[in-house]
Amino acid sequence: MPLVTIEKQNSVAILRLNNGTPNAIGPPMLEALETALNTGNDPWAGLVLAGNTKFFSMGFDLPHLLKLDRSAMADFFDRFNAICIRLLTLPIPTACAIAGHAVAGGFILALTCDFRICGDGRQKVGLNEVPLGVPVPYLADLMFRQIAGDRTATAMGYAGTLIDVAQAHQKGIVDSTHPTETVETAAVQAIRTLADLPASALAATKAHRVGAIAEQYARQRREKNEAFLDCWFNPDTQALLEAAARKF
């Protein structure tokens, strides 16, 4: 079974993460996402990212990534951010259907979408990097501050807070909540409605929002990504990450 599958509902594509229950993100997942985004044979008018009802994604595949040396980890991290930029700047409306938890790298993928449509259960979302000894990635920080506002992003990012979807909805991080079994239907319907609008006008309007983030990330990508890697390979951080990896 491919790690990312593509399902079409009329003009809307559903890209489903399919890497077991945790939907952990490692090099094979990045390759699968790149392949899915490169299909291009049947242009999409809209896109929905989805996972499963336990996890949209619990984030980076720590058991695998902790085996990488700095060069290989740098390549992975750069490719992950490149995919996030690509998702962020797609000139079509996008939504993340969050039926399960979306944590760390999984939440970063959700932030690349125009909208986040969630189940109304006990799902948690957030960026828990700092307690594990690594900074919130620079691109993720830029996206999160635009969506959540500076004070919410600061409070949650510094502390590594995970919140439930009801709180996330109140803070404007999540756009709507629905019974878990209808989350994907709601996300597809929302995107299909937008996909019926004049495409060039919508794409240009979206570019107003996402262009500044892409440009700012590009200017500081090397410096900020090196700072992330410095923290990642700190011995104290490695011990924290090893402990977290045992939960996978």
For the chain, the domains span 4-195
Q: What is the enclosing helix (H) or strand (E) of 180?
A: none
- Inter-residue contact 14 to 6 (CB < 8 Å): yes
Among 39-43, 135-139, 166-170, whose mean pLDDT is lowest? 39-43
Q: What is the mean pLDDT of residues 90-107?
A: 97
Mean pLDDT rounded to a whole number for the chain: 96
Region 33-46: what's the mean pLDDT? 85
Return the pLDDT at 248. 83
d(CA 72, CA 78): 10
Give the pLDDT band (50/70/90) at residue 42: low
Per-residue pLDDT, averaged over 201-213, amounts to 97
Which pLDDT score, from 0 to 100, does residue 22 have?
Answer: 94
* Contact residues for 10 (Cβ-Cβ < 8 A; gap 6+): 192
- Residue 196 clears pLDDT 80, i.e. is over it: yes
Confidence check: pLDDT of 125 > 70: yes
Domain 4-195 has CATH 3.40.50.2020: no
pLDDT cut 70: percent of the chain above it: 99
E strands of 19-161, at which residues? Answer: 46-50, 55-57, 94-98, 101-103, 115-119, 124-126
**Whether the Cβ atoms of residue 238 and residue 66 lie closer than 8 Å to each other:** yes
Q: How many residues does the chain have?
A: 248
Residue 41's pLDDT band (cuts 50, 70, 90): low
Interatomic CA distance for residues 29 and 24, integer angstroms: 8
Query: Within a 10 A sphere around the Cβ of 109, how many other Cβ atoms?
Result: 27
Mean pLDDT of the region 122-129 = 95
Instruction: Return the pLDDT at 40.
Output: 61
pLDDT at 169 over 70: yes
Mean pLDDT for the stretch of residues 168-194: 96
